[in-house]
Structure 1
Amino acid sequence: MTTVATEPAPALLRPHAEQSFADELRALRAVDDRPRPPSWTMSPWAVVTYLLGDTLTDGTVITPKYVGPRRLMEVAVATLATDRALLLLGVPGTAKTWVSEHLSAAISGSSTLLVQGTSGTAEEAIRYGWNYARLLAEGPSEAALVPSPILNAMRTGAIARLEELTRIPSDVQDALITILSEKTLPVPELGMEVQAAKGFNIIATANDRDRGVNELSSALRRRFNTVVLPLPGSESEEIDIVTRRVEQLGSALELPEVPAAAEEVRRVVRIFRELRAGITADGRTKLKSPSGTLSTAEAISVITNGMALSAHFGDGVLRAADIAGAVIGSVIKDPAADSVVWTEYLEAVVRERREWSDFYRACREING
């Protein structure tokens, strides 16, 4: 008898939250003795603990997934325990998608019931579609129905995620009104309706910068409780967020370890915060702000890119030259306007900081 060797499953590039933090979720459920809403895998207290981090009584360390005001997460979780949907609102890079994913993973055990909103999102993505081969062969039937992630969440009493709600055309958004108000989805073609099981809810995200694209109707807005996720309040808080996420991404991407990245993290965060605010940290110099958001997420991307450069093409130590190109690319989104903003910042601020002379030289070399 011969045996056939099987190839090992390839490592996942980006595991879901419930996969990456399975041990933490298990540990929390084991010690969680508080009341749980219907269909929830853990109590609201445990969900907030999972998001904000803590050390459990058995010694298990729950790592923070969100660094920010505790009350915001308590309001978000409490909303999902009611009949109102949750809208996470904020500028790009304020962890809306990240929080949405972790909330779903903690509450439902799965974050995969997802609708990605775009200008091309059709009503079928929110309600249901049809298997047209079966539809033509057999006519309308439940077997020919293709449920949307939201319909699946209704049937199972789970959390559905809807990303970039205001990117979706207004007439498609309106398909949510009956779902959110009546907790039912009519299927007139079959003369039936799907009623939501207890535990069903929706977490939607929307970008502050998209106001005016496809504004929510007042009828739809009333059915959401809105939680605004702010940019990090202090420089040290933002440095902490960037450092944690860079460590996680570096491990997930299997990048070679790059020591002593703290100084460059601090530098990138300082640059982004000053340009966002339009003034230097010491309050002495007013600055022009670029067209982009220079979010925390972009700072994480800059450092991660720098680590890859240093590990594969440098000496294994993260240096100014490894981050300079990515910083410039993040700042200059509109070549005409942002180039002026960056040049003024480089010459008026970076050049005057003696401890930043290596970064100034690296940027000048890129600019030619």
Structure 2
Amino acid sequence: MESAVREGGVVTDTHAVTQKLRPHAEDAFAGELKALAAADDRPRPERWRLSPWAVATYLLGGELPDGTVITPKYVGPRRIVEVAVTTLATDRALLLLGVPGTAKTWVSEHLAAAVSGDSTLLVQGTAGTAEEAMRYGWNYAQLLAHGPSRDALVPSPVMRAMSEGMTARVEELTRVPADVQDTLITVLSEKTLPIPELGEEVQAVRGFNLIATANDRDRGVNELSSALRRRFNTVVLPLPEMAEAEVEIVARRVDQLGRSLDLPSVPDGIEEIRRVVTVFRELRSGMTSDGRTKLKSPSGTLSTAEAISVITGGLALAAHFGDGVLRAGDVAAGIQGAVVRDPSADQTVWQEYLEAVVRERDGWKDFYRACREVSA
């Protein structure tokens, strides 16, 4: 018989959780959250599952007095996390801003999981996001049969969060049409969501707040209005400053993904991870790591998230078509695909980098040969 646990009155099938390809943060790290709640004796804002100190510890990692190890979810400046957590404890909404691949969505999910115990009150922003996704919609069968009523109303994730004192999330806010973005102004300033069809309103209860993520590097973005931007406290998530920090982030995340996909362990491929991170950092900065050679940068962002994707794909190749050990040949195709997004421009950048840098670098001959074979 499959095992089950009871958390907050809900029976959770632990086998089902482990079989999910991508469990929600509150499920994947339920043990850590439970241990933190038990050890947390600091003041908690209304309806928060943890104190701000415990939320920061959950994201940054640490060791509890009973010896429980809390794994880091975010590797970066502590002050950034502290400001983000503190913002959620005020009446200001939080905007996580950064270039693609700086873990905005990841941080947003884990913040919601630690604060509210539920990261699923989510609006995914796209060019087609409608106003109903931010406010509410209608069950048209009920609406036609009985007219406008509470029973016919379908609350959005934002409305649910307001009613229950939870944390709502809006991903890629700048991809949402400007008129739909501005439906949040009243929610964030007055903490009220009018329902004119019923002559009613939903008032947010204590504990409600909202986390939005945005970047301005992708095409097709809609700038936030000054009125909406004023309702947010903006926290910029930077790319990792040091190469080893980025290697750690990639290795940790690939290891988590690899376990869910039954792929080889990361330690067997740490040198390839270091090489991929080096290539990405040099090309996006336009300079080799020793500062001696200037480089052309490709059109893509070459983010940490893309490095994770390259390594995960390489591990899959090593597992299914190799000996299980990550090698240069396993990452060559993936790294070329990440760099060469615009064939007319990026192919030249990549070839020049291979010949001027990779070919001459000690210990990189296998990587050079593998990349040349893919390029041929």
Q: TM-score, normalised by structure 1?
A: 0.96
Q: Find the aligned partners of 1:230 and 1:188 in 2 and give their Cα distance.
A: 42
| 1:293 corresponding residue in structure 2 | 301
From the superposition, tell whether residues 60 and 259 of structure 1 become closer, same or farther in structure 2 (CA, over 3 Å).
Answer: closer
Question: Which residue among 186, 193, 196 is the counterpart of 1:185?
Answer: 193
Per the alignment, residue 213 of structure 2 pairs with: 205
Aligned position for 2:354 = 346
| Kept in 2: contact 1:132–1:144 (CA 8 A) | yes
Structure 1 match to 2:316 = 308
Distance in 1 (alpha carbons) for counterparts of 2:311 and 2:258: 10
Cross-structure match for 2:176: 168
Per-residue Cα deviation, 1:138-165 (whole angstroms, up to 9, x for no partner)? 1000000000000000000000000000
Q: Which residue of 2 aligns with 1:4?
A: none
Q: Find out whether 1:359 has 2:367 as its counterpart.
A: yes
1:249 to 257, 269, 278: 257
Judge conservation of contact 2:137–2:156 (CA < 8 Å) in 1. Answer: yes
Task: Give the superposition deviation at 1:11.
Answer: 1.7
SS of 2:19 mapped into structure 1:
coil
- Contact 2:17 2:23 survives alignment (8 Å): no
SS in 2 for 1:29: helix
For the 8 Å contact 2:175–2:220, the answer to whether it is kept is no
> Aligned pair 1:64/2:72, yes or no?
yes
AA aligned to 1:128 is: Y
Secondary structure of the 1:355 match is: coil
Does the aligned pair in 2 maintain the 1:269–1:299 contact within 8 Å? yes
Whichever residue aligns with residue 362 of structure 2, its letter is R
1:210 to partner: Cα distance? 4.2
Q: How far off is 1:33 after superposition?
A: 0.5
Counterpart code for 1:85: A
Q: Deviations over 1:289-343 (max 9, x none)?
A: 0111000111111111111100110011110000000000000111111101101
Q: For residue 171 of structure 1, report the CA deviation from its aligned partner.
A: 0.4
Q: Is the 8 A contact 1:166 1:211 kept in 2?
A: no
Of the candidates 155, 158, 166, which is equivalent to residue 158 of structure 1? 166
* Residue number in structure 1 paired with 2:5: none
- 1:227 is matched with 235
TM-score by length of 2: 0.94
Distance 2:262 2:218 in 1: 35
* CA distance, structure 2, for counterparts of residue 210 and residue 34 of structure 1: 41
Q: Deviations over 1:161-186 (max 9, x none)?
A: 00000000000011000000000100
Between the aligned partners of 1:33 and 1:231, the Cα distance in structure 2 is 34
CA RMSD in angstroms, aligned pairs only:
1.4
Match of 1:3 in 2: none
| C-alpha separation in 2, matches of 1:210 and 1:220 | 20
Q: How does 1:1-368 map to 2 (within 5 A)?
A: 11-210=19-218, 213-257=221-265, 260-368=268-376
For residue 199 of structure 1, give the secondary structure of its aligned residue in structure 2: coil
3-state secondary structure, aligned to 1:172: helix
User: What stretches of structure 2 of length at least 5 have no aligned partner?
Assistant: 1-14
Alignment CA distance shift 1:9-1:280 (3 Å): closer
Q: SS of the residue aligned with 1:354?
A: coil
Provide the rounded CA distance (Å) in 2 between the counterparts of 1:322 and 1:10: 28
SS of match in other structure, 1:324: helix
Deviation at 1:255, TM superposition (A): 1.8
Deviations 1:250-281 (A, max 9, x none): 11222244652111011000000000100000
3-state SS, counterpart of residue 363 of structure 2: helix
User: What per-residue deviation string (whole Å, max 9, x for no partner) do you get for residues 212-256 of structure 1?
Assistant: 831111110000000000000000111111111111111122224
Matching residue's letter, 1:320? A
CA contact (8 A) 1:165 1:204 kept: yes
- Distance between the aligned counterparts of 2:267 and 2:238, measured in 1? 30
CA distance, structure 1, for counterparts of residue 268 and residue 368 of structure 2: 20
Q: Is the 8 A contact 2:255 2:265 kept in 1?
A: no
CA–CA distance in 1 between the matches of 2:363 and 2:59? 37
% identity of equivalent residues: 74
User: Residues 93 and 282 from structure 1, CA distance in 2 versus in 1: closer, same or farther, beyond 3 angstroms?
Assistant: same
Question: How many residue pairs end up in the alignment?
Answer: 362
Verify the 8 A CA contact 2:17 2:27 in the aligned structure 1: no
Structure 1 residues 83 and 211, CA, compared in 2 at 3 Å: closer, same or farther? Answer: farther
Unaligned 5+ segments in structure 1 are: 1-6
Q: Is the 8 A contact 2:26 2:119 kept in 1?
A: yes
CA contact (8 A) 2:257 2:312 kept: yes
Query: What code does the residue aligned with 2:312 have?
Result: T
1:211 deviates by: 8.1
